[in-house]
Amino acid sequence: MIEFIGERVIAITKEQSILDASLLAGIPHYHACGGNAKCSTCRVLVVEGIDRLTPANQKESFLKSLMHFPRNVRLACQTRVTAGPVKLRRIIQDETDIGLYVGSAAGDSTQQLGEERDLALMFLDIRNFTHIVESHPAFDVIHIIRKLFSSFQSRIESNKGKIVETTGDGLYAVFGYETGKQESAQAAVQAAYSMLEDLQILNETYFIPHFEERIKAGIGIHTGKVVSGTVRVGTQDHSVVMGYPVNVASRLQNATKELNNEFIVSSDIYNLLIDPPALTSQSIFVKGISDPLTVYLMGNPYQQANERPQVRHKI
């Protein structure tokens, strides 16, 4: 038996392909190439019972390799069921879906379908950047942002993180695509400390001498299970990471203003650190989240231009 999630349960024999069985049962299963493993429009996402399916044959293996399918995506025209039950979902529901997964507009990432992952999430924002925009020529403003983001990107990537999005004077990065949950938390915090240290050096050696500006930043980090995938816009694949933990991380970055501290992490992050600094937690309420958040202030208070920076914690 096969359950097409959200549609119906159908019978299948060992001689039938999944595509043959679904068409016989009246399911409008797309198969533009006629079931010859050339178009991939019949592909299905296997939710349960992947080990109860026949191994990929030569035709399917070639197309899976060419289009970078993850293990749980199979071609219905080439796949048979060896034992039941199997639960799956048609990926292309109607003709309006075809362009999302087939052709140049679809991209070739294994993240097309999305997946749940435990990631460490970092939000960074440049403080009072409106003042810089209003006080400097456009060239200088873009130059300052490029200088900052070049430094930040280097630190994020050296700690196996990835920038998901930039928004003018801020960025959003994730850690954990290549590591476990504890390692991703450790890497995110280490990246944040390195970025703040670089910012301190840039202020003293570059921004103050050349632009008479001391740049300040706020960083918030949280961890949790999120939905990760890619969306193709134009000819470029863009990473998308969504979920409640993303909102928490963003709110922690915003809270750096009210709590007068450049770097805040959630207790979920702090408790994963191997050798965290000895700090006292505090509970805060933030906009858009009903429950209080337990946080740790990991950075320095924001300083006036004539103040010397404090010693930053090490982990």
Which tens digits make up the pLDDT trace of 234-260? Answer: 556 667 788 899 999 999 999 999 999
Helices (H), the chain: 18-24, 58-67, 98-101, 129-135, 138-158, 181-202, 208-211, 244-258, 267-270
Q: Are 27 and 8 in contact (CB under 8 A)?
A: yes
Using CA atoms, how far residue 47 sits from 61, 121, 232, in Å, is 20, 27, 24
196-204 contact pairs (CB < 8 A, 24+): 196/262, 196/263, 196/299, 196/312, 197/312, 198/151, 198/152, 198/155, 199/148, 199/151, 200/309, 202/147, 202/148, 202/151
Question: Which of 27-36, 137-146, 245-254 has maximum average pLDDT?
Answer: 245-254
What structural domains does the chain harbor?
Answer: 2-101 (3.10.20.30), 115-297 (3.30.70.1230)
Residue 99 pLDDT greater than 70, yes or no: no
Q: Which residues 6+ apart lie within 8 Å of 264 measured at CB?
A: 218, 219, 220, 221, 252, 253, 255, 256, 295, 296, 297, 298, 299
Quick check: 187 pLDDT over 50? yes
Looking at residues 53-58, what average pLDDT do you find?
94
Q: Which pLDDT score, from 0 to 100, does residue 110 have?
A: 43
Q: How many CA atoms lie within 13 A of 77 on its CB side?
A: 21
Helices (H), 159-232: 181-202, 208-211
Q: How far apart are the first and last CA of the chain?
A: 54
Which two three-digit tokens encode residue 18? 């999944």
* Residue 308 predicted with pLDDT over 70: no
Cα of 109 vs its chain's centroid, Å: 14
| CA distance linking residue 259 with residue 254, whole number of Å | 9
Tokens encoding 82:
């060896």
Length of the chain measured in residues: 315
Per-residue pLDDT tens digits for 254-278: 999 999 999 999 999 999 999 999 9
Instruction: Count the helices and strands in the chain (H runs, E runs).
Output: 9, 13
The dihedral formed by the CA atoms of 302, 305, 311 and 315, expressed in degrees to the nearest 10:
50
Predicted confidence (pLDDT) at residue 199 exceeds the cutoff of 70 = yes
How far, CA to CA in Å, does 93 sit from each of 10, 44, 64, 266, 303?
A: 17, 10, 20, 40, 56
Q: Which residue has the higher pLDDT, 99 or 184?
A: 184
Give tens-digit pLDDT for 208-227: 998 999 999 999 999 999 88
Give percent above pLDDT 70 in the chain.
Answer: 86
Confidence check: pLDDT of 154 > 50? yes
How many Cβ atoms sit within 10 Å of the Cβ of residue 137? Answer: 8
Could you read off the pLDDT of 122-138 as tens digits, one per residue? 999 999 899 999 999 88
Res 53: pLDDT: 95
